[in-house]
Structure 1
Amino acid sequence: MLQGQANRRKRTLLAMFTLLIFGLVIHIWEFYLSPANHSLFHTSFSPPLPARLAEHTPQLMHDLWTPFIHDINITHFLTKEGYHYEIPHGTHHWQQPLGKKLLILDVDTRLDTGPGAMMNESTLNSKEMTGRTAGMMNHYLYAMIHGYDYRFIRAPPYPNRHGTWVKVPMIKEALKTHEIVVFLDADAIFMYPEMPFEWLMSLWNVTDNTLVAMASDPNSPRNRDTSGRVMQNTGFIIAQQSNRTQELFHNWEQCPTDKKYKGCKRWAKDWAHEQAAFSNYVRYDYNSTEEVVMIPCMGGNGAPYIGDKTCGGVFVRHHWFHKDYPAKDLLQLMQDAFVSWLHAGFHHDKQNNFIDASRFTYPLRHLNV
């Protein structure tokens, strides 16, 4: 037990030291990136300073969050909102980190390079950061923390289809190089960066036999398929590689051709596009609850401010109607993390930082500060 406490103290000290270094790096970065000093680093002998600093970003983000990562083998979790989650007995399938076998994937046909955009190579001003950029940065951060792979793919437009259809073939291709692919729309974000995705898959009973898992939409007439079942939202998709998964994605992509699924053609452009095609047709060919998993809306869709209070977006929050909200959420997550680090650092050295002088009387004498 004492050894465990010592190890925790070492990890906390390492995290605080890394935080200090991170702060110094940011300070130096801002100084040298000011207009007056910007030209100092544009020489033929060295790359711009941001490139040299950014080289270590993945390891830095991993090290900063390591002391706070939820243990993959602890089966319970209490959220900030007070919700208690417990991995059900017999469903703790994912007890080892997947690392680079798991891919966090962003896909978009647009390449925005304007102010506040992800692909703008200028120094990002957080006040200008767009919601789409914040969503992708949240995904990138999450991948770095847990050592997952990350890709942002600019997809070619899909002829004669709505733009959201491109996610289907891109996930299919990504599954050829990764065992698990986790796709998110840019307006969907991870609310607990410290939570390993393996833990969430166990919570939602994703098994070795699972092909895809998606969250339920809010239960309203607008969100039901032609059979009356609630649709599954394609803004957050977990896909697991197998021959049968490749078959599923092939059938899904081909759905609007009307060859296999008569009547699916309308979903090439009509709302809800690929989501409606999957829910009305494709999922009925894979009836096993293990093969197509329905993630509860409360955990993987929606947000606390929507009308349906069973869709709170506890772990994955989806801002369908407020595309700018991911920026607020990302900044809040980063702020909360830094506050936690500072607070932990204070308590680690409380013996030196805090003096309880309440037992003294005035005038003060012999108070050793």
Structure 2
Amino acid sequence: MTPSVRSFVPAVVVLFFILSLLYFNYEPPYAVPVAEQSRKPFGSDVSLQQILQFIYNPNKASITTPSFSHGGKTYELPSDLGYTSPLGKDVCILDVDTRPFNAENQIFHGANFDWSKLDPYSGGIINHYMYAQMHGYDYKFLQTATESERHPTWVKVSGLANVLKSYKFVVFLDADALFNQMHIPIEWLLNYWSINVTTSLAMALDPPGAVNNDTYGRRYSNTGFIIAQNNAKTHEILKAWDECPRETRYKGCSEWNKVRFHEQSAFGTYVRYDYDQYLKELPCDEANGEWDLENCRGVFIQHMWWRTPTVRSHFGDRTLQFLMERMHKHAMDEKEKIIDTQVQNTVNR
């Protein structure tokens, strides 16, 4: 990011407020009704949700919008839709971490917020929070205790299981994973991926390659993005997964306490083989990876394994681009009114 752009990004917050005053009649085409929205951040006439919808959703896409195009490809909903109305607070967008993120230049530090200095993982957390706010879902950041015998990534399993008790769906993301299409709601993705009442967990496949295969040669499901549905079978699966390294059921699973890929390897090597019928493997190209990978561009969900230091700046740049596109369109719509022509360079008296 150039210095001029970097210095301009914090102005997005100010522009959010200006837009809220100019466009307070813009109503979100989906998520919770306007009357039920929280108006606290921006006064009595506008909500944060309306502002985010204005910025990211100029075409007013909805849960049942038939198709979505990206990168020359069209993604179409099936004819039989399982979700036609908003799930609202039945959905929770979840971060689970052992780190509190309350130090200077981190998301939960109370003073002197400076977007340009924010640490990369905090940028991912803000992406998750904004997505939840935009679509009327709950958002939770769950800080957990560190377990000395396990790698810290293991906490996502128990954290997910405990939060899921209070929701119909919980969508977990690693801090270096981003909602790439902010305007596409979870309900649309549930329809698109045909996640029905029998689906307990949905995860994207890893990229092709031996390093991403389990001991049987089958590709791992990546645990950086998980859709979990609250039912008895899901809780059974999560319990088996969390207990895997204790080897009461899966002999040899303790190997993955601290060895890569930790909980992902344990799930891929052992747990999924007992529960395949309740799992949904999502295409790597749609829910994993980075934009310039041939097989895993992360069309809907990006997981920035190699560009982790750029998570914040990447999301900030995209947000600024969306905002400036809206401002540019507004200027072009008023082009005839705001552009005048001076034929002769003289002072009229």
Using structure 1 for the length normalisation, give the TM-score: 0.78
**Identical counterparts, % of pairs:** 35
Q: Which of residues 68, 93, 97 is equivalent to 2:82?
A: 93
1:111 is paired with a residue whose SS is coil
Partner of 1:270: 259
Change (3 A) 1:323 1:262: same
CA contact (8 A) 1:62 1:145 kept: yes
Q: Any idea what the Cα deviations from partners look like across 1:296-321, whole Å, max 9, x if unmatched?
A: 00011010244xx1101111111112
Q: RMSD between aligned alpha carbons?
A: 2.5
Alignment-mate amino acid for residue 21 of structure 1 = L
Give distance in 1, aligned partners of 2:319 and 2:148: 39
Q: What's the CA shift for 1:350?
A: 4.4
Change (3 A) 1:57 1:256: farther
Give distance in 2, aligned partners of 1:17 and 1:164: 37
Is 1:286 the equivalent of 2:275? yes
Partner of 1:303: 290
Q: Any idea what the Cα deviations from partners look like across 1:7-40, whole Å, max 9, x if unmatched?
A: xxxxxxxx999605399xxxxxxxxxxxxxxxxx
Q: What's the CA shift for 1:128?
A: 0.5
Q: What does 1:172-183 align with in structure 2 at a 5 Å threshold?
A: 172-183=161-172
Q: What's the CA shift for 1:343?
A: 2.5
Give distance in 2, aligned partners of 1:147 and 1:354: 40
Q: What does 1:95-114 align with in structure 2 at a 5 Å threshold?
A: 95-114=84-103
Change (3 A) 1:65 1:119: closer
Q: Any idea what the Cα deviations from partners look like across 1:313-358, whole Å, max 9, x if unmatched?
A: 1111111122212112221122022213212322444452345x6x
Q: What's the CA shift for 1:287?
A: 2.3
CA contact (8 A) 2:120 2:309 kept: yes
Partner of 2:66: 75
Give distance in 2, aligned partners of 1:136 and 1:351: 42
Is 1:334 the equivalent of 2:319? yes
Give distance in 2, aligned partners of 1:16 and 1:350: 23
Give distance in 1, aligned partners of 2:40 and 2:282: 36
Alignment-mate amino acid for residue 217 of structure 1 = D
2:281 is paired with a residue whose SS is strand
Give distance in 2, aligned partners of 1:175 and 1:57: 31
CA contact (8 A) 2:101 2:122 kept: no
Partner of 1:6: none
CA contact (8 A) 1:70 1:196 kept: no
2:116 is paired with a residue whose SS is coil
Look at both structures and tell me which one has the larger radius of gyration over its CA atoms.
Answer: 1
Alignment-mate amino acid for residue 310 of structure 2 = Y
Q: Which of residues 128, 139, 143 is equivalent to 2:117?
A: 128
Q: What does 1:8-157 align with in structure 2 at a 5 Å threshold?
A: 19=19, 21=21, 55-56=40-41, 60-67=47-54, 68=57, 69-79=60-70, 81-90=71-80, 92-157=81-146
Greater CA drift, 119-128 or 99-108: 119-128
Partner of 1:253: 242
Alignment-mate amino acid for residue 52 of structure 2 = W
Q: Any idea what the Cα deviations from partners look like across 1:81-140, whole Å, max 9, x if unmatched?
A: 3332112333x3222111111000001101233332112111311110111000000000
Structure 1: unaligned runs, 5 residues or longer = 1-14, 24-53, 365-369
Q: What's the CA shift for 1:57?
A: 6.3
Give distance in 1, aligned partners of 2:253 and 2:222: 17
Partner of 1:42: none
- Moved beyond 4 Å, runs of 4+: 15-18
Partner of 1:346: 331
Partner of 2:211: 222
Partner of 1:163: 152
Alignment-mate amino acid for residue 73 of structure 1 = T
Q: What's the CA shift for 1:65?
A: 2.8
Using structure 2 for the length normalisation, give the TM-score: 0.83
Give distance in 2, aligned partners of 1:331 and 1:230: 32
Partner of 2:181: 192
